[in-house]
Amino acid sequence: MTLLQSLKNLVRSKSIHVAYVDVGSCNGCDIEVLACLAPRYDIEQYGIYVHNNPREADVLLVIGAYTPGWEGKLEGLWEKIPDPKVAIAIGNCPISGCLFARPHTLVDPPVSKHIPIAAQVPGCPPRPTEILSAILAVAPTVFEDYEVRKR
Ligand code: SF4
C-alpha cells in the first residue's frame, strides 16, 4: 500500500470525497447534485465533501449522456482517482442515454462500457435523497472490500 493510500484510508474513516463529471447533460442532474449541498439536504453532515479534484476523490459521480467526444477523457479522469474508488451513474442519461439516445445523435450509452460503475441512480432527474443514499450505501462497502482484499 502506498503512502497516499495509507493517508487516504486514515482520513476516509471520517469523510468521503466526491468529484463529479458531466459528460453531456441538460443540467437537470447537476442541479440535483448541487441541491445536496444546500441546507435542506446538507450532504456535509454525513462527512461527504463534493469538489472537482479527482486526485483527492473517493467517489466519482457521472452525469449526462456519453458521446465519442469523451473517448479517453473519462477514462483518463478515472485513472487520476487513486484506489480504492467507486463510480456512480446519476440519472437516466449515463444509464440509457435518456432523451438524448436518438438515432441521429452520437450518444453511446451506457457509461459503464467505459469505466466501472458500482451503482446506478435512475431518474430524470433523481432526487437528492436518492443520490445521497447511493453514496452512503456504496462507498463504505467498496472501501471495506478493498481493505479486506489488501490484507
Ligand atoms: S437524466 Fe434527465 S435530468 Fe438528468 S441530465 Fe439526463 S435528461 Fe437531464
Q: With respect to residue 76, please indicate whether it lies within any of the assigned structural domains.
A: yes
What is the span of the domain harbouring residue 123?
Answer: 14-150
Strand ranges inside the chain, DSSP E: 16-22, 48-51, 59-63, 86-90, 119-121
Q: With respect to residue 84, please indicate whether it lies within any of the assigned structural domains.
A: yes
pTM: 0.88
CB 43 within 8 A of CB 69: no
Atom of ligand 1 nearest to the CA of 92: 1
Domain count, the chain: 1
Residue nearest to atom 2 of ligand 1 (CA): 124
Mutation choice for ligand 1 from 21, 23, 26, CB with most ligand atoms inside 8 A: 26
CATH of the domain at 29: 3.40.50.12280
Q: With respect to residue 88, please indicate whether it lies within any of the assigned structural domains.
A: yes
Q: With respect to residue 129, please indicate whether it lies within any of the assigned structural domains.
A: yes
Q: With respect to residue 6, please indicate whether it lies within any of the assigned structural domains.
A: no
Q: With respect to residue 2, please indicate whether it lies within any of the assigned structural domains.
A: no
CB 90 within 8 A of CB 29: yes
Q: With respect to residue 123, please indicate whether it lies within any of the assigned structural domains.
A: yes
Cα 28 to Cα 8, 33, 35, 90, 98: the distances in Å are 32, 9, 11, 11, 12
Q: With respect to residue 4, please indicate whether it lies within any of the assigned structural domains.
A: no
pLDDT in tens for each of the 151 residues of the chain? 677 666 666 666 668 899 999 999 999 999 999 999 999 999 999 889 998 899 989 999 999 999 999 999 999 999 999 888 999 999 999 999 998 988 888 898 999 999 999 999 999 999 999 999 999 998 776 666 555 555 5
